[in-house]
Amino acid sequence: MTQVQLRLPEKTLEQIDQWVKEGKFKSRSDAIKTIISLYEEREKTRKFYAMLQKRSKEAEEHPERLVRLEDI
């Protein structure tokens, strides 16, 4: 793994430290890695949802081949 330096607003760092104190994360590093992972998953979900919407529109145009998302 590569180490990086990160600048954060004081309030953000205080919140991360509070989460660590509460036991939600093992460390600051663990919290930041988890937050980044959650962001990556959210972006994948958004892309997947956009693809489903596109396919649903295509289904409206070609009902003989595809099923609309709303009909599932």
For residue range 7-48, what is the model confidence (pLDDT) as tens digits? 999 999 999 999 999 999 999 999 999 999 999 999 999 999
The residue range of the domain holding 33 is 26-71
Band the pLDDT of 62: cuts 50, 70, 90. confident
Q: 71 CB contacts (<8 Å, ≥6 apart)?
A: 59
Are the beta carbons of 28 and 20 closer than 8 angstroms? yes
* 35 assigned to some structural domain: yes
Band the pLDDT of 68: cuts 50, 70, 90. low
pLDDT reported for residue 55: 82
* 54 assigned to some structural domain: yes
* 1 assigned to some structural domain: no
* 58 assigned to some structural domain: yes
Give the chain's domain count. Answer: 1
pLDDT reported for residue 22: 98
* 41 assigned to some structural domain: yes
* 48 assigned to some structural domain: yes
pLDDT reported for residue 52: 85
* 57 assigned to some structural domain: yes
* 16 assigned to some structural domain: no
